[in-house]
A and B are shown apart, each in its own frame.
Chain A
């Protein structure tokens, strides 16, 4: 890719926003899954006591 070409800032902006959204979505989904799994485990431990 030629970084000195015309309109290259639009390409960088498009890839940057894609990366931010995809990584954000990835983190949101994974962290929510971990939090719910931990809560479920905590509930199961509470029930066995």
Chain B
């Protein structure tokens, strides 16, 4: 872990790994989308609408996973005060927000034909997922509204760590409350209840989304390191005047 904490070493490893990650992402998307749209069967109850699952579920998983990652990086930054940990959390936030937004929108497109409604405020899963999106936006607002990076990082870490509680609420909301949203059908005790003919495509799409996030996160971190170098150069220039 400490090996990656050096920005120069991080950039060297990231630049070497990125072409492979992009290639794997493209291959997985091609296989996953072919499975999702062509080879997997329609559901016996939902018909073709079930195909929304292959874009909705991976987006929702990533929305939750990225926030957990932000919480982890924020905890590392709290304990070790390492600036790369803050950069990792900061650059993950916009990516997580987009996946969280996608989960909400594609969920609405799935909800309308299946439940007869686009949205239900009384549903714990939907509302807690919406609150997660607000946490993402709040976290990003902290970084963009405070000019001093050290102060912004200190407040942003607290927002990230508090928001992790909501991730558990999202995950277990379908078990704790009687909701419109169905209970977990993949990550649950006793194994997945989805048929194998559909499960492989869902898991391929989930890995494809995760690889896409990994690639975008590495590029975003590279940008963040460049932005910090530019800021430092600007401060030195102002100091020399």
Are A43 and B49 touching (Cβ within 8 A)? no
Complex Cα–Cα for A6 and B45 (A): 12
Complexed CA–CA distance, A7 and B220 (Å): 38
Interface stretch, picked from B51-59, B132-140, B172-180, B196-204, is B51-59
Chain A CB within 8 A of B227 CB: yes
**Interface pairs (9), CB distance under 8 Å:** A1-B48, A10-B112, A11-B52, A14-B109, A18-B55, A33-B223, A33-B226, A36-B227, A39-B226
A22 touches B212 (CB 8 A): yes
Q: Which residues of B contact A11 (CB under 8 A)?
A: 48-49, 51-52, 109
Q: How many inter-chain contacts with C-beta < 8 Å in the A-B complex?
A: 88
Q: How near does chain B come to A33, taking the closest CB pair, in angstroms?
A: 4
Chain A residues bordering chain B, tally (CB within 8 A): 27
Query: Which of A14, A37, A43 sits near B106, CB closer than 8 Å?
Result: A14
Known contacts A6-B47, A39-B230; decide if A1 and B38 are in contact (CB<8 Å). Answer: yes
* B67-75, B94-102, B147-155, B185-193 - the one binding chain A: B94-102
Contact B38–A14 (Cβ < 8 Å): no
A26-B230 Cα distance, complex, nearest whole Å: 23
A4 CA to B112 CA in the complex, in Å? 18
> Is A2 on the interface with B (CB-CB < 8 A)?
yes
User: Is residue A13 contacting chain B, with contact meaning CB distance below 8 A?
Assistant: yes
B223/A14 in contact, CB under 8 A: no
- CB contacts (< 8 Å) of B222 on chain A: these are 33, 37
In the bound complex, residues from chain B placing their C-beta under 8 Å from that of A21 are: 98, 101-102
Tell me if A17 counts as interface (CB < 8 A to partner B): yes
- Contacts beyond the supplied A14-B110, A29-B219: 14 A-B pairs with Cβ under 8 Å: A1-B48, A1-B51, A7-B113, A10-B113, A11-B51, A11-B109, A14-B52, A14-B105, A15-B37, A18-B106, A21-B101, A22-B212, A33-B226, A43-B229
Chain A residue numbers with a CB within 8 Å of B102 are 17-18, 21-22
How would residues 207 to 235 of chain B score, 1 for a CB under 8 Å from any chain A CB and 0 otherwise?
A: 00000100010011011001101100100
The 9 nearest A-B residue pairs measured at CB: A7-B113, A36-B226, A5-B48, A14-B109, A14-B106, A33-B223, A18-B55, A14-B52, A10-B109
